Amino acid sequence: MTAVVLATACALVYGTADFFGGLATRRSRLLAVVVLSQFSGLVFVAAVLSAMPGSPSVEALLWGMVAGVSGTTGLLLFYRALAAGTMSVVAPTTATTSAAVPVLFGLVSGERPALTALAGVVLALAAVLLVSRAPKGAAASAPTGPLLSALAAGAGFGGFFILVAQAPHDAGLWPLAGARTVSIALVVVLALITRRTVRPGPGALPIIAVSGVLDMLANMLYLLAAQRGLLSLVAVLVSLYPATTILLARFVLRERLRRLQMGGVVMALAAVALIATG
């Protein structure tokens, strides 16, 4: 039950972080958003590390670093898709892919959830698909570029979920420190090579900082959930984060949502209940 609560909370925080990330990419250049949000997340995890149980080890840091490469690739592609596409379409597309990869990995590696939990997994994936339905007219006019970027971003996030969960359970949050350090280094190098500025746009810095802190908080919740539950269940619960994103997009940005999307939100809640009882 603890893993279910942590994973569900993670989905709520991830969805909110992605909403702020999408807003930030509309006010600043992509690399500026990524570098500054990642840095704010690193400062946050550094402040929390001393208060959390766990000790650093070479194995934990290495798993975190490898996961950081995968996650950073996914993040760059995801923010690129958010900036060019419709937020309520891009986020669920990425989530579907990022859920499928670790769920399949967990099942192949020998995880055997209860039947009710498996039913919840199926319902959750269906919920994400419903949530991903675009408003009328959007699907026909949506460019393929953002969609492909969203799919690739999902693969990167799925790889992050798998890799960071391989770190020793007694490592605490140290794998996230390794992941975030590598991600910042990669993006800074990319900025230097491409000679692109990392200066935020006017008024964008607070939004970027909030996005980075929330993203790291979600990573913490995910790691704690993965240490206490099955990867195939935790990952699919985390993948429900687009429900938060689309609701924020609906009420803050006034993006139109179809009834199927709202039905997907209801199905997501039912999926959480099934997985919790399993």
**pLDDT score of 140:** 44
| Stretch among 44-58, 173-187, 251-265 having the lowest mean pLDDT | 251-265
Assess whether pLDDT exceeds 70 at residue 257. Answer: no
Look up residue 32 and give its two tokens: 């500026």
Cα 140 from Cα 129, distance rounded (Å)? 17
CB 64 within 8 A of CB 168: no
Cα 1 from Cα 14, distance rounded (Å)? 20
**pLDDT score of 277:** 73
Cα 226 from Cα 167, distance rounded (Å)? 10
**pLDDT score of 218:** 94
Cα 58 from Cα 195, distance rounded (Å)? 33
Helix axes 58-84, 87-108, angle to 10 degrees: 150
DSSP assigned state of 27: T
Average pLDDT of the residues in 14-42: 87
pLDDT tens string 106-151: 888 888 888 888 888 888 878 877 776 655 544 444 556 677 888 8
- Reported as a pLDDT band with limits 50, 70 and 90, residue 273 is confident
**pLDDT score of 139:** 46
Average pLDDT of the residues in 148-163: 90
Cα 149 from Cα 78, distance rounded (Å)? 7
DSSP assigned state of 257: -
CB 117 within 8 A of CB 233: yes
Cα 197 from Cα 103, distance rounded (Å)? 38
Selected residue with higher pLDDT from 79 and 238: 238
Cα 165 from Cα 231, distance rounded (Å)? 8
Cα 148 from Cα 90, distance rounded (Å)? 10
pLDDT tens string 165-194: 999 988 889 999 999 999 999 988 888 888
**pLDDT score of 88:** 62
**pLDDT score of 136:** 52
- Mean of per-residue pLDDT scores for the chain: 84
Assess whether pLDDT exceeds 70 at residue 91. Answer: no
**pLDDT score of 143:** 55
Name which of 139, 152, 143, 170 is nearest 52 in CA terms: 170
Assess whether pLDDT exceeds 60 at residue 197. Answer: yes
Chain-centroid distance of CA 17 in Å reads 8
Q: Please report how many Cα atoms fall inside a 13 Å half-sphere around the Cα of residue 88, on the Cβ side.
A: 27
Assess whether pLDDT exceeds 70 at residue 215. Answer: yes
Average pLDDT of the residues in 197-216: 90
The model's pTM: 0.82
Average pLDDT of the residues in 61-76: 91
Question: Could you give the percent of the chain with pLDDT greater than 70?
Answer: 90
DSSP assigned state of 5: H
